Structure 1
């Protein structure tokens, strides 16, 4: 993928969008990966009060906001990672005796049935299994009702964003914290949004427990979305908010069965927090006397950020987007395998090797054509010399030679008058989006017929018309919506080469 910015062009092996949906807001972060680093290509924060996908007005606000973001950055990435609102989730932790991970996967379903109040058939669920001793694994599991999650996912489908991963902020935040900090010891993670706070306790990089608590203070909710107020205003509100959060940290610690009385929290990490982040971090540290840090940018992400990116609102969305670009400690996914898009993960080194191979192939084709033409002319010249030595009517032979040379020249000019089939296929590969699959191409003289499937077939016509090689593009028959996408047949005419 190519990113253009004025005269500066950047190549990205893969792009991914993280969509962090909260009770009153949506954070969007678009990432692109190069060989050794990840760039933040775009970011946006949408304030949608009391967001519910079943509300038509709110759904339209979501669709319009995300669509504007995608159009602005000309990106419909195949990697779309959704984080759904934490209050909709149930979170459970427990220990499971098992000899290995394979046995854990076969046994965990029965245990989850016991810990969740409804049957697994009506839930999207995921879990993280971590060794906790000999023949013992610690399970951190979460679940959400399908009837609650599906309306959010359907909004993504309307935007041609088919989710590849659906997760909860809990695991995304743990990935963010563990990426650049020590895994040893006990730590707490605070994730503050406008109307709730999530407290997660981790020990040696393993989630011990997580709880989400509602915040019903209208002053806090209003101030969360007003970052232009004086710092003193947030400090005053942080007085009570800090005490509430410290109390909830203590309640969460009491629910951790695998912590002894001698084990204490060594560090507190604050994710997000909106405009409360600076004053809240200071207040929590003051009350607990424990080092309290605001989670920063992962080391693999380029610190040269767009102006729109704000860590206090978008850190979780960034962590979600990063899931598809590099390995993470928490590789959870609420989507069952049958609902995940079928795709091949791109390997940067493989991509470079293929690109180099293609370049060498194209050079070989060009050189081979030149060598072939030169050999034809040399052969004709040799034949002429032989004939001249044997035949008397020299003038007749010279005329034949001139005619043959003119014929070769005419053939080369005709061949150069239209792009080769290889050139046409290269152009189609360049301009057609990644969510388009072709299952048939016919090229006859200057007419090309293309058949295939696309997530949004109507976008193909303007893409072809913008190419210097095609003109008069149009669909043959109507578009047919199938499971693989919109089935289409279109025809276009090849432009003569200049």
Structure 2
């Protein structure tokens, strides 16, 4: 059975949606859509209209949803804590963040991303991310009004950076740039870990000024990273994506200014995700990568930032499906009751059938062995009687051997194959020996028959007492004597 996952990448001016179909054999893109927000000034109504368009064109029934929140609306802080256990970190996180945030921590939902870096045996480096409760509540309310209940709500661009480090063969140290039309986010990766997140605006009307603004933001991010961690950060490359990548030369401008290689990513191609969706809207990687990354984050169970916590935690399975489960349980109970009744009824009729069969066995036994007056265990008594009768078919008394004539005949018949041209004209079974008289086509056949009959365990010795040619019939007449 395929598992459907909907990735919703929500930005200030557009929404991207990717529906993944995941099975044991493969993961493929079932549908995708990019919808600009028609009224960016009124974000909530524009978002609701864009989502309505998506659910009309994409069947999201029974799909698990993972959604993102615009990265510039989130607070980021890098922390160094002397704890390893997650529960302890969560307990102290509000106290550590409170002095560094412009809003009271009671008004925020906070999550963190732990880093696994060299030389941190006695402490934990982490990125904390916080979002205002009122904004998250409004955001989830819009989704809920359209029956969309995301399991994950995370930072825009973060899932793509996570997939770049976890699912794709990429350098250990790199920069990932997510470009919107008016804002951008930079994710600095050190030793395969996302170590710093920064969002900044792009105020420019031409591509060269936009590239300059991006380079300034990237340089500031790298400087902050080096100051926080005390290292010389030398990224092996810059990877870019985002719906603001309208200028085809932006990566060349970035590479020339920053003096590092820069390239656009194509997540579907890099992660080998096939598409079986053929809609009028073509697949544009820089528009769809972030939505695809959200779906892959859920599909691949990648742990990361998720604001569905505290009062905004996703509904537990029981509370969400309570009515359906109770209904299913009632039906299952009725089925079990009917099955139990069927077993009881079957046992009753089986008991009656056993009584009938016992009577029939007694009748057969009485008619077969009328001399037996006491019948206690008819099956065992019948076995004993049959065994007694079989002994009467054995060799004559006085032989001292319990060898049945039928067994001798069976072995002779079994060991002489049909391919041998032989006629057995006489068989005499005595107490000490067995005599066979017959004729065949050659003397070799006589020897062959003798050799084959020597395999019978009853015979101690076999001799050819006579073997003569019958000239009239051109046959070899023979006689074998087998000693018991």
Which category of TM-score, normalised to the shorter sequence, fits these structures? Answer: 0.5 to 0.7
Q: Secondary structure at the match of 1:164?
A: strand
Q: Which residue of structure 2 lines up, in the alignment, with residue 64 of structure 1?
A: 52
Q: Which residue of structure 1 lines up, in the alignment, with residue 194 of structure 2?
A: 207
Candidates 283, 304, 311, aligned match of 1:331? 304
Task: Give the drift of 1:335.
Answer: 1.4
Q: Cα 1:40–1:94, aligned 2, differ >3 Å: closer, same or farther?
A: same
Q: Secondary structure at the match of 2:197?
A: strand
Q: Cα 1:105–1:182, aligned 2, differ >3 Å: closer, same or farther?
A: farther
Structure 2 residue 209 is matched with structure 1 residue 216: no
Q: Which residue of structure 1 lines up, in the alignment, with residue 215 of structure 2?
A: 246
Q: Secondary structure at the match of 1:117?
A: coil
Q: Which moved more, 1:318-327 or 1:292-301?
A: 292-301
Distance in 1 between the 2:247 and 2:229 partners? 28
Q: Which residue of structure 1 lines up, in the alignment, with residue 177 of structure 2?
A: 190
- Tell me the alpha carbon deviations over residues 24-78 of structure 1, each in whole angstroms, 9 at most, x when there is no partner: 111111112100422111111111145366654x255234313313xx43x2235
Structure 2 residue 263 is matched with structure 1 residue 263: no
Q: Which residue of structure 2 lines up, in the alignment, with residue 480 of structure 1?
A: none
- Tell me the alpha carbon deviations over residues 359-417 of structure 1, each in whole angstroms, 9 at most, x when there is no partner: xxxxxx9xx99xx9xx99xx8xx99xx9xx9xxxxxxxxxxxxxxxxxxxxxxxxxxxx
Task: Give the drift of 1:125.
Answer: 2.0
Q: For the Cα contact (< 8 Å) 2:83–2:124, is it kept in 1?
A: yes
Q: Secondary structure at the match of 1:316?
A: helix
Distance in 1 between the 2:153 and 2:51 partners? 18
Q: Which residue of structure 2 lines up, in the alignment, with residue 291 of structure 1?
A: 261
Q: Secondary structure at the match of 2:274?
A: coil
Distance in 2 between the 1:59 and 1:100 partners? 38
Listed as ranges, the matches of 1:1-150 within 5 Å are 11-12=1-2, 14-51=3-40, 56=45, 58-69=46-57, 72-73=58-59, 75-132=60-117, 133-150=120-137
Q: For the Cα contact (< 8 Å) 2:202–2:214, is it kept in 1?
A: no
Larger RCO (CA within 8 A; separation ≥ 6)? 1
Q: How many residues align?
A: 329
Distance in 1 between the 2:154 and 2:195 partners? 18
Q: Cα 1:323–1:216, aligned 2, differ >3 Å: closer, same or farther?
A: same
Q: For the Cα contact (< 8 Å) 1:177–1:269, is it kept in 2?
A: no
Listed as ranges, the matches of 1:88-487 within 5 Å are 88-132=73-117, 133-181=120-168, 185-217=172-204, 219=205, 237-256=206-225, 257-260=227-230, 262-276=232-246, 278-297=248-267, 301-304=272-275, 306-307=277-278, 308=281, 309-328=283-302, 330-338=303-311, 339-343=313-317
Distance in 2 between the 1:247 and 1:178 partners? 24
**TM-score, length-scaled by structure 2:** 0.60
- Tell me the alpha carbon deviations over residues 95-121 of structure 1, each in whole angstroms, 9 at most, x when there is no partner: 112254443233223212233222222
Give the unaligned 5+ runs of structure 2. 319-338, 364-484
- Tell me the alpha carbon deviations over residues 259-292 of structure 1, each in whole angstroms, 9 at most, x when there is no partner: 5564312111102245536421222122223121
Distance in 2 between the 1:126 and 1:258 partners? 20
Distance in 2 between the 1:265 and 1:153 partners? 37
Q: Secondary structure at the match of 1:160?
A: coil
Q: Secondary structure at the match of 1:95?
A: strand
Task: Give the drift of 1:253.
Answer: 1.1
Q: Which residue of structure 2 lines up, in the alignment, with residue 407 of structure 1?
A: none
Cα RMSD of the aligned pairs, angstroms, is: 3.5
Q: Cα 1:209–1:24, aligned 2, differ >3 Å: closer, same or farther?
A: same
Distance in 2 between the 1:193 and 1:274 partners? 4
Q: For the Cα contact (< 8 Å) 1:22–1:84, is it kept in 2?
A: yes
Q: For the Cα contact (< 8 Å) 1:183–1:204, is it kept in 2?
A: no
**TM-score, length-scaled by structure 1:** 0.59
Distance in 1 between the 2:188 and 2:47 partners? 34
- Tell me the alpha carbon deviations over residues 303-349 of structure 1, each in whole angstroms, 9 at most, x when there is no partner: 33534432110111111122222121x422111155312139xxxxx
- Tell me the alpha carbon deviations over residues 188-234 of structure 1, each in whole angstroms, 9 at most, x when there is no partner: 111111111112212112233222122233x5xxxxxxxxxxxxxxx
- Tell me the alpha carbon deviations over residues 119-155 of structure 1, each in whole angstroms, 9 at most, x when there is no partner: 2221122111124412111111111111122222111
Q: Secondary structure at the match of 2:255?
A: helix
Q: Secondary structure at the match of 1:165?
A: strand
Distance in 2 between the 1:238 and 1:153 partners? 35
Q: For the Cα contact (< 8 Å) 1:78–1:161, is it kept in 2?
A: no
Q: For the Cα contact (< 8 Å) 2:52–2:146, is it kept in 1?
A: no
